[in-house]
Amino acid sequence: MRLKMRSALDPKETSVSQSLKLRLREVTLSLIVTLVAADAFAQNAVEVIAQQSTVALDAEEIVFDVRLQFSDVTVGGGFEISYDPARLEFLDFTFVNDPQMLIQLAPPAGTTLQPLVFAAGWVILTPPSGVTGERSVGTLRFRPVEEGPALVDLSASAATTPGPFYPPLAVPTPLDVDYADATVTVVPEPGLGALMGCGLLVLAGLSRSRKPNARDPQLR
């Protein structure tokens, strides 16, 4: 009799077991999606952003903003910038006015040595003892030298000093950071095209005036 009753309850137990398994599967999938989304959001980036996408060859300067976009907390680190000296001439770098950015390293104005090495560090005694979110580091200035696309290549610091970006830990492990480059296009001087156009029109007019007129009796 007991065996028969247990047999009668087996379908219900199976149904409950399947329901629990389905629920557990849903929770697991939801947790995986949440972790993947959090990992995708938790990104750290150093960006160099051109204030203009195109600049005339006769422009006095090309200005780039250097910014941090960190999901993690960092106390700072270093980065390097390379460029094509045939297209650009380095002028200088100016740090933003940030009283907590006590570590500031930039190459001397007008240097031709590459790569350009920079470092920014924040000394903050209260938790989280670092900076996070979007933060401006400074402005980078070049002078255009030649027409064409000019790449400003941003990369991690290859040297031990200043080194990569670190979190505020006693024994820090470097943070994973993405580095975003920028490109500007140097175009001809605005007045140069008009001047060349006027010159072509003048040449065309002179060419017409020199052609013999078949109806002119003096030319028969």
Going from the C-alpha of 105 to that of each of 15, 95, 143, 162, the distances in angstroms are 67, 9, 21, 9
170 vs 122: which has the higher pLDDT: 122
pLDDT at 195 over 90: no
DSSP 166: B
Percent of the chain at pLDDT above 70? 67
- Mind listing the pLDDT tens digit for each residue in 25-74? 665 555 444 444 444 445 999 999 999 999 999 999 999 999 999 999 99
- Mind listing the pLDDT tens digit for each residue in 102-158? 999 999 999 999 999 999 999 998 988 999 999 999 999 999 999 999 999 999 998
Contact between residue 86 and residue 145 where contact means Cβ atoms under 8 Å apart? yes
**Beta strand extents in 145-193 (DSSP E only):** 148-156, 178-180, 182-187
pLDDT at 20 over 50: yes
Looking at residue 24, what is its pLDDT? 62
- In whole angstroms, give the CA distance from residue 123 to residue 99: 9
Q: Which are the contacts of 136, defined by CB distance < 8 A and separation ≥ 6?
A: 65, 66, 67, 68, 96
Q: Which among 182, 180, 183, 181 has a CA at the least distance from the CA of 44?
A: 180
Side-chain half-sphere exposure of 182, counting CA atoms within 13 A: 20
pLDDT at 1 over 50: no
Q: Averaged over 65-88, what is the pLDDT?
A: 97
- In whole angstroms, give the CA distance from residue 122 to residue 74: 8
Q: Averaged over 5-15, what is the pLDDT?
A: 54
What CATH architecture applies to the domain 44-187? Sandwich (2.60)
pTM for the model stands at: 0.70
pLDDT at 3 over 60: no
pLDDT at 219 over 90: no
Looking at residue 5, what is its pLDDT? 47
